[in-house]
Amino acid sequence: MYKYLLFDLDGTITKSEKGIFNCIKYALDWAGIPYPEYSVFRSFIGPSLYDSFVREFGMDDAKAKEMVAKYRERYNVVGLFEAEVYDGVADTLRALKEKGCILSVATSKPTEPTLRILEKFGVGKYFDVVVGSNPDGTGSDKKHIISQVLESLKKDHGLTEDMIKSNQVVMIGDRCYDIEGGKACGLQTIGVLYGYGSREEFEAVGADNIVESPEEILNL
């Protein structure tokens, strides 16, 4: 059993596409841009918003920042709560805490709405450390965020480099970015199939474990 477990948010703790998609549409409506195919909407779940607008719509820096601001205009009021916690997640988090595990959130979503979401859905009490990106969406690289979580765990929760080297720390997420970020920081990794990624995606980036349900994490 792992001692320290880091969780992604969207697609790992919460099923959040409704709010994300609605806020993308809100920004696109404002800009007068036609809606893309569904696969483009799905591609926004995982990477930073800024990077997604640049990648999918060929926007320059100024336009992408405008779109992120428009997205946040709706998301920070309504969109963040257009979600639900996946079945089995709350029970799994509670069981992990009862076993003495230290739990953290490492997400590309800004920290402030992440904290609001966790509290709204009653799972904030399970997490000792929560780290996200900056309010404007910068600082969203997953390796950077995971590194910040690890620094906090070392400072306040007894984590050591030896514990990382002995595979007591794991990053859990639903996209390749979570796995790549975790591996870049020397962590074990778990890909979850109930989110927005696929087995092929996880295998391509070398996930150490792949699970189909939150409960399976308890057996690793």
Nearest Cα to 68, choosing from 37, 105, 113, 11? 113
Other Cβ atoms closer than 10 A to 28: 18
Q: Which residue has the tokens 């992408």?
A: 64
Produce one character per residue of 42-68: b if its CB has 16 or more CB atoms within 10 Å, e if not. ebbbbbbbbbbbbebeebeeeebbebb
With DSSP H G I counted as helix, E B as strand and the rest as coil, what are the percentages for the chain, rounded to 5?
A: 50, 15, 35
The tokens describing 162, both together, are: 């030896």
Catalytic residues: 8
Handedness of CA 206, 38, 116, 75 (dihedral sign): positive
Please return the burial class of 122, using the count of CB atoms within 10 Å of its CB with bins 0-12, 13-18 and 19+: exposed
The SS3 assignment for 198 reads coil
Q: Tokens representing 147?
A: 């590194």
